[in-house]
Chains A and B, each alone.
Chain A
Amino acid sequence: MSFLAATGLAIGSAWALYGVGTALVLAGALGVVLLRNPVHCALSLVTTIFGIALLFVDQHAYFLAAVQIIVYAGAIVILFLFVIMLLGVDRKEARAPENVRLLVPMALVVGAVAVAELLALARLQYWAAGAKSTTQSLSGPGSDIQKLGQTIFTSYLLPFEMTAALLVIAIVAAVALVRRRSQPPPAPPRKSAGALRHPARAPEAPGAAVRPAATAGAGRSAAAATRSPAAAASTPKTSNETREGRAVS
């Protein structure tokens, strides 16, 4: 009798966890889509992520629940908030007229069709069809983090190494995208150290001072063209120049 009561309690707690997780997930997702302020959207995304982590715990994927919170709530959403803060876009989205008429109703129809299609496809066949336990059995002995580590370092070793390379490439790409170019790249290496240390002052060598103006006049370097007002006045980039000046101020 006590076993039956314990089983009933376990089932009840599993359903309770599912209910709470579902409420968090759906409320957060609707908040991301409907709220106007990007900061509120990011916080709603955190709500959704916590709900997903709850559902992972409900399915005994404890390690993935922890990683979900650490990576998403701890890194990705923080990155979103940093970018919002850096760019100063934490104001309400302007309710400008849409370029495409009936954009919102069409988007709602497309989303509803996607959901209906997913549900119909899942109900036409079995929900989960396929071979069972091809990688490794989930219900074997050991904790889930131990089994995950074993499969990652045996069956999925090549994808794991490729994700390492992907992370390095992403870091380099982020730095290369966001870096402000202070000097034109074809500067001679023995003068570039001193020129980088004092970028505002005129360099000692006369050749290095002539070179940026020459490239700007030739229009080869877009960055140099926007920096130099005389060159920008003769090019059609004047609107960009004024917009950039407003954004900085």
Chain B
Amino acid sequence: MSVPGPWYLGLAAFLFGIGATGLLVRRNILVMYMCIELMLNAVNLTFVTFSRMLNDLGGQDAVFFVLVVAAAEVVVGLGIIVAIYRRRAGATADDVNSLKG
């Protein structure tokens, strides 16, 4: 016996909301990436919970692929951040406006 699924789904919704709010509020690009990780974790929790509620292994497979994609995304994103910091010191999200015409 374990905790009913809706408890996990509610927690995942709150975690996703906190991550989305942090993505909007914070100005440091690294912390914004961490907020994206929070949202991905919320979705992972939802997948595992649905997998248990529907007695289906596909949700856990989806979590597996989300983990791989998250790792690749972080690698490329941090490479972009390092390249930005090399060109200009102390870049927040407001400073990256070089594409402005």
Question: In the complex, what distance in Å separates the CA atom of A128 from the CA atom of B56?
Answer: 12
User: Do residues A166 and B61 form an inter-chain contact, with CB atoms below 8 A?
Assistant: no
User: Do residues A29 and B38 form an inter-chain contact, with CB atoms below 8 A?
Assistant: yes
Q: Please, which residues of chain B bring their CB within 8 A of the CB of A41?
A: 30-31, 34
User: Do residues B81 and A83 form an inter-chain contact, with CB atoms below 8 A?
Assistant: yes
**Which positions 36-81 of chain A face chain B at CB distance < 8 Å?**
38, 41-42, 45, 48-49, 52, 55-56, 58-61, 63-64, 67-68, 71-72, 75-76, 79-80
Produce 1/0 per residue, A167-183, CB < 8 A to B: 10111011001100000
Question: In the complex, what distance in Å separates the CA atom of A86 from the CA atom of B79?
Answer: 12
User: Do residues B67 and A68 form an inter-chain contact, with CB atoms below 8 A?
Assistant: yes
Give the one of A45, A84, A122, A170 with max B CB within 10 A. Answer: A170
**Which positions 132-172 of chain A face chain B at CB distance < 8 Å?**
132-139, 144, 147-148, 151-152, 155-156, 159, 163, 166-167, 169-171
Nearest chain A CB to B79 CB, angstrom units: 4
Listed A/B pairs (14) with beta-carbon separation below 8 Å? A32-B34, A42-B34, A45-B34, A45-B37, A45-B38, A67-B64, A67-B67, A80-B78, A93-B31, A127-B6, A137-B55, A166-B69, A178-B82, A243-B87
Task: Knowing that A41-B31, A136-B56 touch, tell me 16 more A-B residue pairs with CB under 8 angstroms.
Answer: A18-B8, A56-B48, A61-B48, A71-B70, A83-B82, A84-B30, A89-B85, A94-B92, A132-B54, A138-B56, A148-B61, A151-B58, A152-B61, A155-B61, A156-B65, A243-B89
Q: Show the binding face of A for B, using Cβ within 8 Å.
A: 7, 10-11, 14-15, 18, 22, 25-26, 29-30, 32-33, 38, 41-42, 45, 48-49, 52, 55-56, 58-61, 63-64, 67-68, 71-72, 75-76, 79-80, 83-84, 86-87, 89, 93-94, 96, 99, 103-104, 106-108, 110-112, 114-115, 118-119, 122, 127-128, 130-139, 144, 147-148, 151-152, 155-156, 159, 163, 166-167, 169-171, 173-174, 177-178, 240, 243-244, 246-247
